[in-house]
Structure 1
Amino acid sequence: MDKWKVINAIEQTGIIAIVRGTKQTEILQIANALYDGGVRVIEVTCNTPGYLDMIEALAAEMGKKMFIGAGTVLNPITAQLVIDAGAQFVLAPDLNPEVIRLMHEKCKLTIPGVATPTEIIQAHRLGVDVVKLFPAGALGVRYLKEIRGPLNGTAIIPVGGINMGNVAEFAQAGAFAVGVGGELIDKNAIAEGNYSVITDKAKNFIGTFLTVKGNQEYTLGLQGDMNI
């Protein structure tokens, strides 16, 4: 898998959907609801029970329409397991050179977690293309804006605490995209079997983010499959 295809899909849609703590029986309905809302990049976190089975199911059923990834990848063993299950990219809450090295060997995208300029620069030295600013909600929009002063060439994806109240601000501050979990994967709606809520939320997040970024081509239609 060409990692640049994943990066392109992230940039075009502006959203990585983060699935955490849901049931295996729900994953395909969640993915289809997200897809209908315009999401093309989805991750299942590795602290979700049954995450490998979920990744396998997504790769089998949605792999021609969405890019499937794994989140909360803390070590190279887990990275290898999720790749074997069908993951095309991984995210982590930390900067782990061993995970990065393995993903480079597999020619797959890795998005490590960073919180300081030092970590961002270290990630660049390790050959990382995109970083995850975590926890973005606690660090704040102003923090992102200020670190992009000297590091404005860095593709930064804020994750943690992203919601409809601040997504436009993060886009305005220069976020490459955002990762959205609980604010998008509405567990009450899932419990009620009302997956259209997730579709509507996905459209709102994508539309808001891309309108600020000026990507009207994708925003207007929320259409077209990525080159997967």
Structure 2
Amino acid sequence: MNPIDQILESKIVAIVRLDTYDRAIDVAQALVAGGINVLEFTLTGRGAIEAISAVRGALGDAACVGVGTVLQQEEAAAAIDAGAQFVVTPALRKPVIAACVNRNILALSGGFTPTELLEAHEAGAALVKLFPARQGGPNYLKDVLAPLPFLKIVPTGGVSTANARDFLAAGAVALGIGGNLIAKPVVAAGAFDQITAAAREYVAAVQG
């Protein structure tokens, strides 16, 4: 199954944003054990590129692994070379989208306004990330999709177990979930069973 189909099927992209990724495999295994198999390692932490390669090697087809917070096309290229199966930007970054299109890699481009989301789509981003989703909530998403129903939008930032179904009901095709799912103190404590439990809660919330 290709990355976009995996995202559309699972409806959850787990955003792993840590200061360092020395426990990346443990985090990935905990998420997969909880039923979430689409993982995004952000470039804001040290060792993200190495983490992508390590997780791909350790988990194989059990996880779909991507890179997040990509701002430059060179960053996208390095992550793809390391095995990233999709690339996520926090804002509309057309050079990054183009770099992904040239490599036949899924781009999930960030945007907030209807103009930004539409431009990302037209530039080649098969999925567009509404960020920060907490600013507008499900009603804003619904309003954006009314005139632009062809957009495949993934709300990110502020998605919780309480509002996950509301975002999906408003038209989201999947949800990006980060700090509410993978908390830095939990990783630091090695309490990976808590990540598995949180993943199960999100899977249950999404499935309704």
- CA offset at residue 185 of structure 1? 0.5
State whether structure 2 residue 128 is matched by structure 1 residue 126. Answer: no
State whether structure 2 residue 65 is matched by structure 1 residue 68. Answer: yes
Report the TM-score when normalising by structure 1.
0.87
| Unpaired stretches in structure 1, ≥5 consecutive residues | 212-228
State whether structure 2 residue 151 is matched by structure 1 residue 154. Answer: yes
What whole-Å deviation, never above 9, does each CA across 1:99-135 have from its counterpart, x for those lacking one?
A: 1111111000000101111112212322221100000
| Length, aligned pairs only | 208
Q: 1:19 aligns to what?
A: 16
- CA offset at residue 210 of structure 1? 2.5
Amino acid corresponding to residue 84 of structure 1 in structure 2: D
- CA offset at residue 172 of structure 1? 1.5
State whether structure 2 residue 200 is matched by structure 1 residue 203. Answer: yes
State whether structure 2 residue 3 is matched by structure 1 residue 6. Answer: yes
State whether structure 2 residue 110 is matched by structure 1 residue 85. Answer: no
More RCO (CA 8 Å, sep 6+): 1
Query: Do the aligned partners of 1:40 and 1:65 also contact (CA within 8 Å) in 2?
Result: yes
Which of 109, 112, 122 is the equivalent residue of 1:112? Answer: 109
* TM-align CA RMSD: 1.4
Q: 1:188 aligns to what?
A: 185
| Unpaired stretches in structure 2, ≥5 consecutive residues | none
1:26-105 map, 5 Å: 26-105=23-102
What whole-Å deviation, never above 9, does each CA across 1:133-178 have from its counterpart, x for those lacking one?
A: 0000122221101111111221100011111222121111111110
After TM superposition, where is structure 1 displaced by more than 6 Å over at least 4 residues in a row? none
Query: Helix, strand or coil: the match of 2:62?
Result: coil
Query: Do the aligned partners of 2:90 and 2:109 also contact (CA within 8 Å) in 1?
Result: yes
Distance 2:27 2:151 in 1: 31
Query: Do the aligned partners of 1:189 and 1:195 also contact (CA within 8 Å) in 2?
Result: yes
Identity value in percent: 38
Query: Do the aligned partners of 2:130 and 2:153 also contact (CA within 8 Å) in 1?
Result: yes
Which of 175, 178, 192 is the equivalent residue of 1:178? Answer: 175
Report the TM-score when normalising by structure 2.
0.95
Query: Helix, strand or coil: the match of 1:24?
Result: coil
